[in-house]
Amino acid sequence: MQLKDSSLLVEACFIDGAWVGEGATPVTNPVNGAVIAKVPHFGAEETTRAVEAAGRAQAGWAKRTAKERAGILRRWFDLIIANRDDLALIMTSEQGKPLAEARGEIDYAAAFIEFYAEEAKRLYGETIPSPWPNARMVVIRQPVGVVAAITPWNFPAAMITRKVGPALAAGCAAVVKPAGETPLTALALGLLAERAGLPAGVLNIVTGSAKDIGRVMTEHPLVKLISFTGSTEVGKLLMRQAASTVKKVGLELGGNAPFIVFDDADVDAAVEGAMASKFRNMGQTCVCANRLYVQAGIHDAFVEKLAARVKALKVGDGTEAGIEQGPLITDAAVAKVEEHIADALSKGAEVLVGGKRHPLGHTFFEPTVLTHVKKDMMIAREETFGPLAPVFRFETEADVIAQSNDTEFGLAAYFFSRDIGRIFRVAEALEYGIVGVNSGLISTEVAPFGGVKESGIGREGSRHGIEEYTELKYMLLAGLDK
């Protein structure tokens, strides 16, 4: 890996302002399995040290003015942007997404730091008209304290900054456990935070045993909030563990996003939206379209145009020019796509494009379109998390709303229509935390991201995202009469 600043490739953890531990666990490139670097395999003892360091640092950090905290966060933002190319190359090497997408993620990740540096200064409280003449009522927001964050491999930078940005801005200290597949982006971000002047202990990054680190993060009394992005299964486990000390939880879990195209839609715009939503990060995002519902009158035109676009996607090593789809993260991810396709074909679906492992081998998979997809197939119920676009045909608005909501998930939904009445009706009827209308891309630091039902708890991004890291304190000031 040819970095402009080779010191950004870090093989140690960041605890209490020091870089500790030795490279033990290999981090591999999903393109070919080659070892890129090794990171420490830490467990309960080192995580406890990190939590205690955060506990010591937190009070001093919270006492700084919002403007001072914002200044350091702003320097961190500047350093992330200045090192965009290196960070993107590290990300592509460990995660697989094409470089252009990795650069986009670095910008997206940095935007959370910039936004919350600004928002730190706007954590307003309130006054309440008192029911008693001799009293006044004041409500302030205070940082929750030490925050623990566990992040996934699909967005190795943005899922960290979306949690750590608001936490630090609010005056919390943080301990982060990045995914085992993608720790290098996280450690490089940590190095830049240190260079930005973040005081020792305010940000700690620990790699190693998920089970042991997660146990300390959810059970240590100093930790007041655990924020997690990843599978619903692990989210539920962490929630159970966090109950032992009644911590706040923030959970961004799985999705099963419907993407609906009504007869009145602009078909070209709908195809572009489907490409953006379905094939971003090779289909490995929790907001990726998982089920494409296309109304009968527009079905054939949409499918024909979608198939042409998918067939033309360039698959390969994401560091090469022009590549639009990289490898999937692991063999298990490929196996899940294969399982969904096999199940659908056995129940009557047809492959229009792709459908099998890519000739490049390893974890590459052909971008795929399936038609004649029905609701008894696995893909109707489970998130594929891969480059598979299954197309369902539907007849009526009521039917597609019912099918869309027939899931335990409720993160993102999309639909294309040009009928203003329908737009409001359908957007309000979809049981999802996020609805994209005439767009396949909904993510931005300025909007609240999060789900309902089993897709999670809480919101990240926007002014609401920082509120999660605060507690309200109500102060009654009585005895004001002479």
Residues with catalytic function: 252
Residue nearest to ligand GUA (CB): 443
Instruction: State the binding string over 180-219 for ligand GUA (x if CB under 6 A, else -).
Output: ----------------------------------------
CB of 254 to ligand NDP, least distance (A): 5
Cα of 158 vs its chain's centroid, Å:
7
Neighbouring-strand partners of residue 139: 126, 474
CB 141 within 8 Å of CB 467: yes
Among 29, 154, 232, 407, binds ligand GUA (CB under 6 A): 154
DSSP notation for 82-112: HTHHHHHHHHHHHH---HHHHHHHHHHHHHH
Residue 363 zone, left/alpha/beta (φ > 0; ψ -120 to 50; rest): alpha
Region from 48-56, 248-256, 350-358, 427-435 binding ligand NDP, contact rule CB under 6 A: 248-256
412 near ligand NDP, rule: CB under 6 A: no
Residue owning tokens 């609805």: 435
Among 227, 229, 325, 368, binds ligand GUA (CB under 6 A): 229
H or E segment at 177? Answer: strand 173-177
Total residues interacting with ligand GUA, rule: CB under 6 A: 12
Neighbouring-strand partners of residue 141: 472
286 near ligand NDP, rule: CB under 6 A: yes
283 near ligand NDP, rule: CB under 6 A: no
155 near ligand GUA, rule: CB under 6 A: yes
**How far apart are alpha carbons 349 and 373 in whole angstroms?**
5
Among 46, 94, 252, 460, binds ligand NDP (CB under 6 A): 252
The binder of 21, among ligand GUA, ligand NDP, none, by C-beta within 5 to 8 A per type, is none
CB of 275 to ligand GUA, least distance (A): 15
CB 370 within 8 Å of CB 388: yes
- The first and second tokens of residue 243, run together, are 């109950």
Task: Give, in degrees to the nearest 5, the angle at Cα 167 between 166 and 170.
Answer: 80
231 near ligand NDP, rule: CB under 6 A: yes
- The first and second tokens of residue 177, run together, are 């456990």
Region from 131-139, 160-168, 225-233, 315-323 binding ligand NDP, contact rule CB under 6 A: 225-233
Among 234, 323, 379, 466, binds ligand NDP (CB under 6 A): 234
Nearer to ligand NDP, 252 or 468 (CB): 252
| H, E, C per residue of 17-70 | CEEECCCCEEEECCCCCCEEEEECCECHHHHHHHHHHHHHHHHHHHHCCHHHHH
Residue 89 zone, left/alpha/beta (φ > 0; ψ -120 to 50; rest): alpha
C-alpha Rg value of the chain to the nearest Å = 23
Among 14, 115, 385, 392, binds ligand NDP (CB under 6 A): 385
Contacts to ligand GUA by CB under 6 A = 152, 154-155, 158-159, 229, 252, 285-287, 443, 449
Contacts to ligand NDP by CB under 6 A = 150-154, 177, 179-180, 210-211, 214, 229-231, 234, 237-238, 252-254, 286, 383, 385
